[in-house]
Amino acid sequence: MKRNPIFHIAMAMYSLIYFVPLLWMALSALKSNEEIALNPLSLPTTWDFGVFAEAFTAGSLGKYAINSAIVTGTCTSAVLLFGSMAAFAFTRLQFKFSKQLMALITLGLILPLQSYFIAQNALFDTLGIKDTRMALILPYTAMGLPLAIWLFRAYIQNLPKELFEAARVDGAGDLRVYQSILLPMLKPGIATVAVFTVLSAWNEFLLALVYIQNDDLKTIPTGLLTFSTRYSTNYHLLFAALTIVTVPMIIVYVIFNRKVIEGLTEGAVK
Amino acid sequence: MKPTARWIPYFLVAPAFAIFSLAILGPIIATFGLSLTDWDGFSTPSFVGFENFVRAFNDKIYMNSYWHAGIYIAATLVLEVVVGLLLAGLVSSKRNTTFYRVAFFTPVMLPLVVISVLWTFLLNPDLGILNRILGNLGLESWQHIWLGDQSTALLSISVISGWIFAGFYMAIFYAGFQRIPSTIIESARLDGASEWQLLRGIKIPMIKNLTEVAILLCFTGGIQVFDLVYVLTNGGPYDTTQVPTTYLVRVVFRDQQMGYGSALAVILTLVVVGVGLIYNKVRTKADAVVEY
């Protein structure tokens, strides 16, 4: 294969489609509202980064980020733990109704959110958990489990059977086997499932919009939407908020890009 | 293997199944039940049989919402799957393309709400850079109120969707291309095949399965599209971008018609599951014939 400058020039030009909007967002944050309105394409005249601090406090972005972190962290831990437990039972242990239960869980892979959220909303109303973090943690965990179990099952099936049988001969009980043999060997699978679960919970919008009205409990997507309605004409503040939300995610993504891409695509193709 | 104690498998499955039943399985059954009632969310639901379904099929906005979703799906099949395939062909044709792959995938991992808010500004008729760039190029006649004009709103949403997800499909296809034995690619190159011939004659046919999955994803994802539409246009102008999900949310949470909303949800569910089943049938058949 030859080096081909034309190829790289063309690809770099195409990359601009991705960079320009994001760069415009970050640079517009540094401009005054008048500058943005009069000349959206110009570069900022001053480089005052104070606007980011202002947006961070005005939009209570810290609060939203903490809420997102609590919800995402809890539901991801639950999905990883409960998902791996169930997958272990489904793949390696014989029990009654194993097939039927697995079939029900599989159903969760294709069902759209809209098929259950009306009744779910009514149920959460009755249980009195709307406007609590539980109202998000519970459905996010439930939505993450089918895919987690499905992916974990594929991973466990690829592990040698003898491994589990040998442990059995050594007198280990099944819970012991799960803890000391399965979990350590499942690490690559756990990473994939974690990426998928974290990003879907972090970015989820519809349920967050419906279940959380209390501003103190909003997650980043709904919090940012509130911000954008409240400051819809304070452009530079809004751009600063968008930038604050976006940049850390891009940094994390660039560092872990292989895992992220793998996690998201593998999760979807399954 | 037989479990070391009878209760162990049930103990292992119980938490996952309890959460799944409470949050998803139960509510689905209840939604099917509610679809046969008239309910405002507060009083006692009253049974009305299939009235809601009759009403749904006579609801012009709802029926049109499927038409809009269809247009959106057709557009994104090109803007996401086909573009993704071409991008995958490009980045797999040379070495050192990690940078492009990472760049093209970036929007996929950002919250759709954030991207949507950003794009409302990019396409804003006064502040947006798109109209400004068109103006600077002397193409004033091409300027539009992109998201506010009935003729461009749905198309604009599709293009934004393409901007986000083309990289996603590229990543799927790229992973598929990487699994093709390099001896096949190298020998074709030695025989003088161009990159384009390579893509069309070898790479694409060899990832046929993945392409099918991608089309299914594009379809099931497209019919459930919500975040983008809700933030960009919320179904407007004049319901020309109303899709099944945005209309559903409006019926349930603005009009407080839980029973009717449930019927709309049931129809959407049947469409999604139906497509999934048809796909499975077609695919198992095709798999039985072509094996590689």
Chosen from B114, B136, B194 to mutate, greatest number of chain A CBs within 10 A: B114
pLDDT of residue B287: 54
pLDDT of residue B284: 65
Proportion of chain A in helix, strand, coil states, percent, rounded to 5:
80, 0, 20
Summarised one tens digit per residue, pLDDT across range B225-258 is 998 999 899 887 898 899 999 999 999 988 999 9
Specify if B71 maps to a domain.
yes
Specify if B30 maps to a domain.
no
Chain A residues closer than 8 Å to B245 by CB:
114, 206
pLDDT of residue B286: 58
Cα separations in angstroms, A60 against A64, A226, A242, B114: 7, 11, 13, 16
A219 touches chain B (CB under 8 A): no
Closest alpha carbon within chain B to A144: B20
Specify if B39 maps to a domain.
no
Number of domains observed in the structure of chain B: 1
Specify if B42 maps to a domain.
no
User: What would the mean pLDDT of B264-279 be, rounded to a whole number?
Assistant: 91
| Res B291 pLDDT > 60 | no
State how far residue A152 is from chain B, nearest Cα, in angstroms: 13
Average pLDDT taken over every residue of chain A: 89
pLDDT of residue B292: 37
Q: What class, spelled out in words, does domain A53-269 have in CATH?
A: mainly alpha
Least confident of A25-34, A111-120, A209-218: A25-34
Average pLDDT taken over every residue of chain B: 88
Least confident of A165-169, A265-269, B197-201, B209-213: A265-269
User: What would the mean pLDDT of A39-50 be, rounded to a whole number?
Assistant: 80
B227 and A260: CB-CB below 8 Å?
Answer: no
Chain A residues closer than 8 Å to B100 by CB:
11, 14-15
B209 touches chain A (CB under 8 A): no
Matching residue, tokens 């509202």: A33
String of DSSP letters for A160-182: -HHHHHHHHHTT--HHHHIIIII
Matching residue, tokens 């098929």: A115
User: What would the mean pLDDT of B256-280 be, rounded to a whole number?
Assistant: 91
Interatomic CA distance for residues B267 and B168, integer angstroms: 28
Every domain of chain A and the residues it spans? 5-48, 53-269
Specify if B218 maps to a domain.
yes
The alpha-helical segments, DSSP class H, found in chain B are 8-20, 26-34, 51-58, 60-76, 83-91, 98-109, 112-122, 129-136, 153-178, 182-190, 195-198, 204-206, 208-223, 227-232, 244-249, 258-289
Chain B residues closer than 8 Å to A249 by CB:
109-110
pLDDT of residue A110: 83
Question: B139, B4, B175, B169: which is closest to B77 by C-alpha?
Answer: B169
State how far residue A173 is from chain B, nearest Cα, in angstroms: 6
Chain A residues closer than 8 Å to B110 by CB:
203, 246, 249-250
Residue A2: pLDDT band by 50, 70, 90 thresholds?
Answer: low
What ipTM was estimated for this complex? 0.89
Q: For B1, which of A94, A104, A118 is closest by C-beta distance?
A: A94
Specify which of A23-37, A144-158, A227-241, B143-157 reaches the highest per-range mean pLDDT: A144-158
Chain B residues closer than 8 Å to A14 by CB:
100
Closest alpha carbon within chain A to B20: A142
| Res A29 pLDDT > 60 | yes
A242 and B118: CB-CB below 8 Å?
Answer: yes
B270 touches chain A (CB under 8 A): no
Residue B94: pLDDT band by 50, 70, 90 thresholds?
Answer: confident
Specify if B168 maps to a domain.
yes
Closest alpha carbon within chain A to B244: A114
Residue B124: pLDDT band by 50, 70, 90 thresholds?
Answer: confident
Q: What is the CATH number of the domain that holds B181?
A: 1.10.3720.10
User: What would the mean pLDDT of A184-201 be, rounded to a whole number?
Assistant: 90
State how far residue B8 is from chain A, nearest Cα, in angstroms: 7
Summarised one tens digit per residue, pLDDT across range A59-117 is 888 999 999 999 999 999 999 999 999 999 999 899 989 999 999 998 888 888 888 99
Specify if B193 maps to a domain.
yes
pLDDT of residue B290: 41
Specify if B84 maps to a domain.
yes
State how far residue A63 is from chain B, nearest Cα, in angstroms: 17
B253 touches chain A (CB under 8 A): yes
Chain B residues closer than 8 Å to A40 by CB:
127-129, 132
Interatomic CA distance for residues B71 and A84, integer angstroms: 40
Chain A residues closer than 8 Å to B86 by CB:
none
Residue B285: pLDDT band by 50, 70, 90 thresholds?
Answer: low
Summarised one tens digit per residue, pLDDT across range A110-143 is 888 888 999 999 999 999 999 999 999 999 999 9
B288 against B70, higher pLDDT = B70
The answer to whether the CB of A104 falls within 8 A of the CB of A96 is no
- Residue range of the domain that includes B116: 48-289
